[in-house]
Copies of this chain bind each other. A is one copy, B any other.
Amino acid sequence: MELTLDQEIEQLKNKPNATTRIVSDGMERHLHIPKKVLDHGFVRVVDYMGDDSAIVQAARVSYGAGTKRARGDAGLIRYLMRHRHTTPFEMCEVKFHIKLPIFVARQWIRHRTANVNEYSARYSVLDREFYVPAPENLAAQSSSNRQGRGEVLDGREAFDVLEILKSDSLRAYGNYELMLSSDGKRGLSRELARINLPVSVYTQWYWKTDLHNLFHFILLRGEQHSQFEIRAYADVIATILGDWVPIAWQAFSDYRINGFELSAKGVECVKRMIKGENVTQESSGMTRREWTEFELAILND
């Protein structure tokens, strides 16, 4: 499959076409080229529509003759982002080819406003590719956060875990092939044989979404509480976004990723602190966990 893909990409890259559509030079450079993620996965831009100027163009339809061109494109995009005028961002669209483990795909698919064509294991045979974490990512269960990771496993324990993950997946795959085989027997249907495979097996899909929903994906899946494995994909996509829609990406970073949402209590605390009061968790009215998040965002250097 890799080989076929390589040939296809060569062909595409060597055959530029003329269009009078908006072209993003930053995105053309990414087009068709798989970016490696995890041990066997990748993200590959298959197609796109629009760029920063398409956001501006759509916003100017809304504002009509009323838009003073005085405010430049960057100013307008930042204004839209700050005020959550999200519809102009929906005017950009992107289509990815993604290879990813099933347990990552299961988190990913929860983003409903997207179009998906996934490889069918009812129709075709899955490849022998399983996600096995790198030793430095073999984290213990967090003791403070029920859905998080703690410290990295020690050598011996790590070694044992990797052995289990590898041998169990290989055995499962071997038995998958055995059950499928019609050598001297009927051979189990593909749709049943695959139920023996672990959720670490790789699948692939085409995934198409608009920029607004992609930002939302990045916000949720790129943040620190998200599972490391899907975050790895979000990080790669974030890099691509920076080249595709640099102004919108900067605004998104400033107003969402690196911003902080104060609650009503948070606003009160900030007001008191600015006046010089020494506010503590106890006097803040926040729960311990909420205070910790507040402290981290507002009081740390």
Contacts and interface: CB of A to CB of B under 8 A. Distances in A.
A91 B208 contact: yes
A259 B259 contact: no
A31 interface: yes
A232 interface: no
Contact of A261 (B66, B175, B198, B261): B261
B168 A75 contact: no
Contacts of A168: 171-172, 175, 196
A188 B82 contact: no
Given A63-B120, A122-B227, A179-B164, A93 B93 contact: yes
A105 to B, nearest CB: 8
Contact of A61 (B67, B198, B204): B204
Contact of A87 (B19, B61, B115, B147): B115
Contacts of A192: 133, 138-139, 149
Contact of A153 (B180, B188, B263): B188
B90 A115 contact: yes
Interface size bucket, A side?
Answer: 35 or more
Given A161-B188, A165-B195, A208-B93, A123 B20 contact: no
A153 to B, nearest CB: 5
A16 B120 CA distance: 39
A1 B46 CA distance: 36
Interface of A: 1, 12-13, 15-23, 28, 31-32, 46-50, 54, 57-59, 61-67, 75, 78-79, 82-84, 87-88, 90-91, 93, 95, 97, 101-103, 105-106, 109-110, 112-113, 115-120, 122-125, 131, 133, 138-142, 146-151, 153-154, 157, 161, 164-165, 168-169, 171-172, 175, 178-180, 182, 185-192, 194-200, 204-206, 208, 210, 220, 225, 227, 253-255, 258-267, 270-271, 273-274, 276, 287, 289-290, 297-299, 301
